[in-house]
Structures are given as structure tokens and as C-alpha cells.
Structure 1
Amino acid sequence: MATPQIDKLISILENIASGIYQFELPVFESPEFQRLAESIQHASASFEKKYRRQRLLNSITEYINNGLTLNDILDYVYNSFQEIIPYDRIGIALIEEEEKLIKVCCVRSKATVIKINRGYSAPIEGSSLAAIIESGQPRIINDLEIYLKNHPDSVSTRLILEEGMRSSLTCPLISSRKPAGFIFFSSMQVDTYKDLHIDIFLEIARQLSVIFEKSRMYEELIQLNELKNKFLGIAAHDLRSPIGVIKNFIILFLNGYIGEIDEKQRKVLMTMDKNCDRMLNLIHNLLDFSAIESGKLDLKLEQLDLHKFFHTYQSMTKSLAEKKQIELKMDIEADLPNITVDSNRIMQVLDNLVTNAIKFSYPNTTVTISARKQDESVKISVADQGQGIPENEISKIFKEFSKTSVKPTGGEKSTGLGLAIVRRIIEAHNGTIDVDSTVGKGTTFTITLPIKS
């Protein structure tokens, strides 16, 4: 009866279908069943190899999505793929269109001496790589020594031979449907790629091309962001002077230096003065934001006496709170140490947090500034009894030009830049800022600054 033999083969096939590729080859009395079992074993080994290969290819995608650099990806490919594809060297070179050159950006090799390393460049025009760009197809050289005899002017072939390589496979890298560079697989044996399916090499090249596309888009975003910051800086700088001149003339009118004004004119001029202040505040925020974004936020670090600092700030801000019938309360620990900060920038941070607290609070409530030493840091909190911020909106309050659904209680205006600037200033001091808010109860912002920045 053939049934037990068939049952054995069916069991093996079921295991293969479930991903169990390794099995002990059974011995059958029937030669036909034995050949069938050996064929199944061969197919299983082939399936396993393809499965492992596809899993490794998928893992490249995961690495790319995790934001790893080209060098990181190349390390992973070089260390992981040798078990399924042969190579002793992998190199990547990018096309520099303006100079019409190809330039090596990274290399991994078993060779003891690397002749073609990062930074090596060569002209594309007239080279064999130009034909690969033209066709978009990979190139295999089965014997580099023979190739050099036929192409004695090929400097790169001579150098790669000096590294000990004897055969190579070159695949083009395509980004935005244009050639972006090449990936070179090389072996120390001749004919390594002669009978090899090149699909996996092309797939690796395709995956790496995704990195180039992401890098290109990222570079474009950086350039656009720099252009935006430059424009904001120029526009804000050019607006500041004329608005300052307008404000000075308004002050001259209000103080009677240019003649008498009636009450109606005074109200108009005071409205203009208030709007000038608002515009100047916006301009200063734009200039700060532009400087921070372009990495030009210079901190002038100095020892700051926190008790004097808070006393000065309270005397400056008390009247602003009183205008809205809000109490400004201080809760400062007695033995606070001095901290090393840019005092003007920390004043800017505190002023932004406190004016926001006043802006979004109702009359007859309290805004409390507190400060405590904690380990090697100082925690400064600004707590209000205002409207609170909805939980689903807290994540966006530190984003530039972002506003929540919470409205100022006195009709005050907001640029949406203040908290973004605050966060950047605190981070520049190696500090942190946190927010705790409950709708209907209020909001507390807490900044943590190291005592020695």
C-alpha cells in the first residue's frame, strides 16, 4: 500500500506550507517516492531561501521607514545579505550633475586595503557607467582582469583589482525616474555573478533608491524652510524701522509736542499706538523665530539671582494683571540657588507664560508664579485659574503659528508664535517645558532648567 508513504509526503508538504522548511528526508522503498521526496526537499530549500531573501528585503523597508541613514542601511545590507547573495565588497556612488561626476559616498569591503573609498570621483562622460545610465540596466563583469586588458584606460577597474576583486555587478539607482547613482557588488572570485539571478540585486537597488528620494525631498524642505526664515527675517527687519518711526510720532502727538489735540483725536492716536505695539511685538517674535529656526539663537550666559529676578518681574507685570482684576501671586522658595542662563531670554520666557495666563484668565482669579529647587535643577511654574486647554489641543500649542479654540477673555490678540519660541529657548538651555491643563480649572506651565546650563 502506498498510503503511508503518501501520508508522510503530505505531512512534509503541510509543514512546508506552514513555514517549517527543515525536515529529515525519509527513506522509501519505492524509487519513485524517494525521487519525489528528494524533489520536495530541494523545493523546500529553494522556498526557504526565497522566504529569507524576501524577509531581508522587507527589513530594508523597515529600516528606511525608521529614518536610518544611507550608511546605516548599507551596514545592514552588507552584514545581513551575505548568507543569500555573494559579495566581498559593496560600494555606493552618487551622480553629481553640476560637475558631471560620479562620487563614492560609502564602501564596505573585506579587502585589507581599499583603493576606491569615500570621496573618490571620476567623470561620467565617456565611461562605461554612461551606458548603464542610458540603458537603466545592470552590468555584470565576470572577469575584471580580462576586462582591464580590453579596457586598459579604466582606472577604477585597475584600482578595484588591486583591492583583490575579480568580478562585479553594477546596478543603477533611480530617484524621481532619473539616475541618481550606482550600487556596486564585487567578489574576489571570477564568474560570481555569471549564472546568478540579478532580481534581488535590482530589488536592493530599488529599496536604496527610496532613501535617495526621501533625502532629496528632505533637502528641498530644508531649503524651503531656510528661504522662509530668510524672508521672515528680512520682512520683519524692514517693517520694524517704519513702525518705530510711526510710534515715535504718535508719542509726540500724545504728549502735545506738535500741538494740542482733542479727546477724540487722543483716542484715535492711542488706538494707533496700541496697534503699533502689537505690530512691534509680532515683528520681534518673527525675528526671534527666524533666528531660532536658522540656528542663530545666541545665548549670553550669566549667573542669575532668581530672587532679584522674580522681584523685578513682579514689579513690572503687576499693573498688567491689575488691569484685568487678576492677582499676581509669587510662591518662591527661600533658598533658591543662582542659575547659569541668558537672563533676558528667561525673562522673555516668563513674560510670555505670565501674559498668556493673564490673557486667558477671567477677572477675580489668580495667576501664581512658583519656583523650587529639585536635584540639580530649578522648576519654575506659572499656574492660572483660567479656561484650561482641551486635551486634544495640548499637543499643538508649542507649534509655530498654532492656536487653540480657547479665546482671550479681554479680546487680546495672539500671533501663535510665543509658546513655540518659549520651547526653543528652554531647549537651548538644555531644559524642558511641560503643561498640565484641565478645562474649566486652569493651566500650569512648568519649565525645568539645569542650575549649570
Structure 2
Amino acid sequence: MTYRKPDITLPLKEIHRLEKLKEYQILDTHSEDTFDKIALMASQIFNTPCAFITFIDQDRAFLKSNLSALPINEVEREGTLSSLTIFNDDVTVFNDTHTQPELMENQFIKGENGIRFFAGVPLKSPEGFNVGVLSVADYVPREATNLQLDMLKTLSKIIIDKLENRLRYRKSIESQINLMNIALHEIKNPLASINLANDIIRKDITTKDKMTGMIKSSVARIQKRLSDLLKQSELEEKDLVLSIEEINLRDMFTRLLNNFELLAHRKKQVIELHCDESLPCIEGDKSKISDVLHNLLSNAIKYSYHGSCIKVSAREAGNYIHIEVKDEGQGLNFNDIQKLFTKFAKLSSKPTGKETSNGLGLSISKSFIELHRGNIYAMSPGKDKGATFIVSLPLKYTTPNDIEAIAEFN
């Protein structure tokens, strides 16, 4: 084989390759018997003293399995034979590296006991990204047979299969944890409403009819959310699924304000709704959009001061509905905004009425809005200057297949 330094002309592909490598969570892990046995099989097939399973990071090569006299588990990426191998979709073979002048300055090749023979095959993910290399090496020149090279390819596929199986298992566990977190978060607010309504009934029996209606509505909401989540957990596909229907946002806002009337009244807060009479309906999952707005309004009440005003507005903006929830609360600093939609993020603001917070609501809201091809973000002039959360939702829901069809047409 003639050596040729690769020309990296696809930086975007390299970014995706590194993302896939990171997704496997294999870098900087301890050696494992499973991978060491595969490397051993490779060395036995070729009858070589060295075999490696190497994963190529941005600036380094991490040796997951190192069956050699080298007392290291990572080296600089530049100049390694494995870093050359990932640019080839087929096997890379050097029967004698000393016949390639360009390689003679390589620290692992030049000098006594340098590598003379090398055969490596890329570890190709199902998406087509070469994340690493399975290789064998010897200190003397030798020839590789086609059968040996085919067996090396087979072993490389086994490595990827193991990585993908681990990834699927991890995602399955993460999905179940996410479903549990969503369930816990979604029943928290209705339970708070039930508890508050019960306290009011005990103090003022004249409010019985209104409070029992609220309790019934909250219980129904909990039952529906738990039922939806149980169905979701039974699906083979672990991603959240949307139930698309027409949504009248004005009706949704009215119900939300009724649900939060008591909580706001307890802190002497006022909720103002500014919504165009001609606001069009949108297509989306009603329960998930309601959950998002419920969370934003709940947070506005939770983090705003007593006696303050909360403004909720909605208007049509082109092919989108623009929704804002603006409060006069503690506001957000730069660090808050940077990590605002991260799970379990600890922010500088604290609930003003001793309410509790688990740090999940905004991350869940973000995932729901993005499933609708929408956007959610926040703005704040600074601490103690209030905050505004903005949600943009398309009037018409577009499936991934629709997006691909539009892209192909254009």
C-alpha cells in the first residue's frame, strides 16, 4: 500500500463522527475482558505479538485494548497508523512500513523494535462514522491473506455490535427514568391544587362547589397523565409520541388561569391575559402544550414576589403563534440563562413562597416544544428585574417526513 496523508475536507462529518464516539461513552474507560478477548483473537488470527482496539478522539487515540509492550493507553492522534485507518472504509495494510518514506519519522516505526507490519480495519457505526480501529502489528515485515483480513473485518463488526447494544440498553434505561421524572413532575402541580382546595374548604364551606370542581379536574388530569405515560412506556420506540389535534389556545389559557387563580391569590398576585380574539387554532398535542404553559405559569407564580403582576400574551406571527409569560420576579443572570433548560439545573432564583422545585420542568418543556418543531427561550434584564419566557409554535404541525420532502423539493 502507498501511504498518502488524508485530506480532511468534511469538517462537518468529523463533528458528527466525534458526536457518535462520545455517544458510545467508551473513552477513558478501563480495559474490559470482552474487548481484550476480541483483540487477542485478532492477534491469534495473524500470529502477531500486538493487537489494539483504538478509538480516535479529536486530538488523541485512546487504546481500549492494548496487547503489546507499550505501557500507555493513549497517544497523540497525529501520526498514528490508526488515525490514518479511519479515513479508509476498507482495511489498511502496510506489509513493510519501511517501504514508505513518509512513515519513517513516525515514533512508533523508526528505530529498533519499530512497527514493520500493520493491518487495521475501521470500526464503522451504523450511521457510517469510523469511530475507531481494530488493528494488529508486528516488528517484522509480513504478508496478510485475504482470509485473515476478512476475519479482521468480522471482528470489527462484533465490536460495533457490542457498542450499539450497550447504547440501546443505556438509552432504554434513560428513557424509563425520563418517563418516571415526567410522571413525578406532572402530578406535582395538580396535587398542590388539590391540597390547597382542601384547605380552603376546611376554612370556608361556602366555596365547596367551586373547590370540589377543581379537585375533580385535578384528579382527572393526574389520571390522564399517568395513563398516557404508562402507554408510552409500553412502546418499543422509546421516543415521546405526539397525539396531534386542533388546539384552541384561548380556551386553554382560560382553563389554566382558572387552575392557578387560587395559587396566585394566596401570594396576592395578579394574572393578566392578553390574547387576540382572532387568535387561530394550532395543530399539536394538547396535553403536552398544556403542560408547557402550565409549567411556565407555575414558575412565574413560584418565583415572583408577593403582590406582583404576571402577564400572559399570545399573538399570531406569520406561520407561528408567539406566546409570552412575563413576570416581575427575581429575574435571571447570565449563568442562569446558559443552563436554564438543563435537567436539575440549580439557578440563582428561589421560590418566594417556600414552594418546592425539582429542576425538571423547563427541560421537559423544551423537549415538548421541540417535538412540535417550535422554540422556547427566556430573556431577563437582570436580577430582580423579572423574566420573560417566549414560546413559538407553528400553526401547522410538520412531521419529519414532511420536512425531508420539502428539503428534497427545494
Q: TM-score normalised by the shorter chain: which range applies?
A: 0.5 to 0.7
- 2:324 maps to which residue? 381
1:241-280 Cα offsets, whole Å, 9 max, x none, are 9xx9xxx9xx99x999xxxxxxxxxxxxxxxx9xxx9xx8
Q: 1:234 to 1:422 in 2, by over 3 A?
A: closer
CA contact (8 A) 2:344 2:360 kept: yes
- 1:396 maps to which residue? 339
User: Unpaired segments of 5 or more residues in structure 2?
Assistant: 21-33, 56-63, 68-81, 104-115, 125-129, 134-158, 203-214, 398-410
1:120-147 Cα offsets, whole Å, 9 max, x none, are xxxx98xxx6645541569xxxxxxxxx
Identity of aligned pairs, percent? 25
- 1:303 maps to which residue? 246
SS of equivalent residue, structure 1 residue 211: strand
- 1:110 maps to which residue? none
SS of equivalent residue, structure 2 residue 253: helix
CA contact (8 A) 1:60 1:207 kept: no
- 1:328 maps to which residue? 271
- 1:135 maps to which residue? 48
Q: 1:220 to 1:451 in 2, by over 3 A?
A: same
User: Unpaired segments of 5 or more residues in structure 1?
Assistant: 1-48, 72-96, 103-123, 139-171, 257-272
The aligned runs of 1:334-349 (5 Å cut-off) are: 334-349=277-292
Aligned-pair distance for 1:183? Answer: 5.0
- 1:184 maps to which residue? 91
Aligned-pair distance for 1:333? Answer: 1.8
Rounded Cα–Cα distance in structure 2 between residues aligned with 1:194 and 1:365: 76
Rounded Cα–Cα distance in structure 2 between residues aligned with 1:317 and 1:449: 23
SS of equivalent residue, structure 2 residue 254: helix
SS of equivalent residue, structure 2 residue 335: helix
CA contact (8 A) 1:321 1:328 kept: yes
Larger radius of gyration: 1
CA contact (8 A) 1:388 1:439 kept: yes
Q: 1:387 to 1:206 in 2, by over 3 A?
A: farther
Aligned-pair distance for 1:234? Answer: 7.0
Letter aligned with residue 211 of structure 1? V
Equivalent of residue 227 in structure 1, options 163, 173, 176: 173
- 2:17 maps to which residue? 68
User: Structure 1 residue 434 and structure 2 residue 367: aligned?
Assistant: no
1:35-74 Cα offsets, whole Å, 9 max, x none, are xxxxxxxxxxxxxx99xx66x48x5997786233799xxx
Aligned-pair distance for 1:343? Answer: 1.1
SS of equivalent residue, structure 2 residue 290: helix
SS of equivalent residue, structure 2 residue 283: strand
- 1:20 maps to which residue? none
SS of equivalent residue, structure 1 residue 177: strand
Instruction: Supply the RMSD in Å over aligned alpha carbons.
Output: 5.6
Aligned-pair distance for 1:392? Answer: 1.4
Aligned-pair distance for 1:219? Answer: 6.9
Q: 1:255 to 1:329 in 2, by over 3 A?
A: closer
Aligned-pair distance for 1:367? Answer: 0.6
Aligned-pair distance for 1:303? Answer: 0.8
Aligned-pair distance for 1:364? Answer: 1.4
- 1:450 maps to which residue? 394
Aligned-pair distance for 1:448? Answer: 0.5
Q: 1:428 to 1:233 in 2, by over 3 A?
A: closer
TM-score between the two structures when normalised by the length of structure 1: 0.49
Moved more, 339-348 or 206-215: 206-215
Rounded Cα–Cα distance in structure 2 between residues aligned with 1:197 and 1:229: 50
**More contact order relative to length (CA 8 Å, sep ≥ 6):** 2
Letter aligned with residue 387 of structure 2? T
